[in-house]
Amino acid sequence: MTITPPPQPDPTPPYPESPAARADRRLIELLQELRVLQTGVQIVFAFLLGVAFTPRFAELGDAQQDIYVTTLLLAVLASAVFATPVALHRGLFHHPGKERIVRVSVRVAQLGLVLLASALTGAVLLVLDVVLGTPTALVLTSVIALVFAGLWFVLPWAVRRPLRDTD
């Protein structure tokens, strides 16, 4: 049985691409990705807004209400941060330096991922604390936080690292 290595990415694009065209393409791709993430943030935010108006909200303990407020604020910040690349693009649309806009937007999007992961983790902590109790909620939420860290940050870093070494 012969094991074939996975195909390596072609370092040259399939067509000639100027730096300006590459920056345009990367920005369009980033904005498309952010649309998907923004929808997720809006769903979490809507859930959190609804929680405060349920009869059971008054029964939450002080720590649970603190988790709620922190999670709500993280969701709002994630929404604002994910909208920032769109604002940059609109505000600087006809200005030169789109490559810089892309670099800044990528960093801002990474911050948005941290905020979104934190908001989702906080929402899970709140629900699990109410349903299962604090000790179980802390354990399960820690696992969820590790999953986010692994999939959203460690995995891309691990995939990018060998690719960078071959460049």
Angle at 61 between CA 55 and CA 63, to 5 degrees: 130
Residue with token string 């195909």: 7
| Per-chain mean pLDDT for the chain | 84
Task: Give the model's pLDDT for residue 14.
Answer: 63
Place of tokens 């694009």: 13
CB burial of 111-135 (b: ≥16 within 10 Å; e: otherwise) equals ebbbbbbbbbbbbbbbebbbeeeee
Q: 47-95 pLDDT, tens per residue?
A: 899 989 999 899 999 999 999 999 999 999 999 998 888 888 776 666 7
Per mean pLDDT, which range of 13-27, 99-113, 145-159 is the poorest?
A: 13-27
Q: Where are the alpha helices (DSSP H) in 92-133?
A: 98-132
Tell me the pLDDT tens digit for each residue of 150-159.
999 999 888 8
Residue 28 — pLDDT band, cuts 50, 70, 90?
A: confident
Q: Where are the domains of the chain?
A: 21-166
Of 33-37, 127-131, 163-167, the poorest mean pLDDT is in: 163-167
pLDDT (0 to 100) of residue 132: 96
Other CB atoms within 10 A of residue 3 CB: 4
At residue 10, the pLDDT reads 47
Say yes or no to pLDDT of 41 above 70: yes
Q: Which two tokens stand for residue 37?
A: 């993430």
Rounded Cα distance between 77 and 82, Å, is 8
